[in-house]
Amino acid sequence: MTGLPSEIAIASRNPGKIREIRQICADWPVRWVVAGEDPRDWPDVEETGETYLDNALLKAREVSRALGMPCVADDSGIEVDALGGAPGPRSARFAGDDATDEENLQLLIDSIREEEDRSARYVCVAAAAWPGGREIHAEASCEGTLVTRRKGSGGFGYDPVFVPLEGDGRTMAELGPEEKDAISHRGRAFRALRASLEVLKS
C-alpha cells in the first residue's frame, strides 16, 4: 500500500486556494475534507511563522490535531526582486494584517510602477501532517515578471499582474485552470508532495 490516506483535510479557509488544491489534486484517490463542508470545530490558525514552511506546518499540524486525521496545508507568496524579495511570506498581509486581496494587489502595483526590474517569482511550500506527529513537505516556485495593468479574471491574489516565464505572455489570471496548474508554484508543490506521500508506508 502507498502512504496516500483515504481522507485528507485541507487546512485553509481561502476559497480560491481550496478550489485550486482540489483542481490540482483532482486525480488523488482521496476524499477531501474542508471547512464549511465539515461540521466539526476547525481551529483558526495564525500564520506567525517566519517562513513558508513554518506557516504551512503550523496550519497542517493544528488542523490535523483538531480533527484527528491527516491534513495538508500550504503557504505561498510572491517574491519581487526590486523589493528585496518582499512581500514573501507576508504576501497575504502585504498591505496590513487585515488587508484584502485587492489592497495587497494595488500596493504591489504601486510599489513596482517605477521599477525597471520587475522580475518576480511565486513560491509555495505544501506540507502534510498526521495526528501522530509525522510530517513531510515539498517546495516549488514559478518564475515570472510583473506588469502594472491588470489582465484576466481567473485565479486570485496577485495573478492579474504576474506573467509566468513559461508561457505566451498572458498573466496567471488569463490562463485556464489546467494551464495555470501545470506551471504554477502550487501545482508543482502538490505534485511533489504526492510523490513523497506515495512512497511512505501506510
What domains are defined for the chain?
Answer: 7-198 (3.90.950.10)
Confidence of residue 202 (pLDDT cuts 50, 70, 90): very low
User: Comparing C-alpha atoms, which of 112, 175, 103, 95 is closest to residue 146?
Assistant: 112
181 exposure class (CB count in 10 Å sphere: 0-12, 13-18, 19+): buried
The SS3 of residue 1 is coil
Amino acid at 33: V
Q: Catalytic amino acids? A: 75
Determine if the pTM surpasses 0.85.
yes
Cell of 61: 499540524
Which pLDDT tens digit goes with each residue over 19-40? 999 999 999 999 999 999 999 9
Helix or strand run (H / E) with residue 33: strand 31-34
Q: What is the mean pLDDT of the chain?
A: 94
Percentage above 70 pLDDT, the chain: 98
Q: Which of 12-21, 77-86, 144-153 shows the lowest mean pLDDT across its residues?
A: 12-21
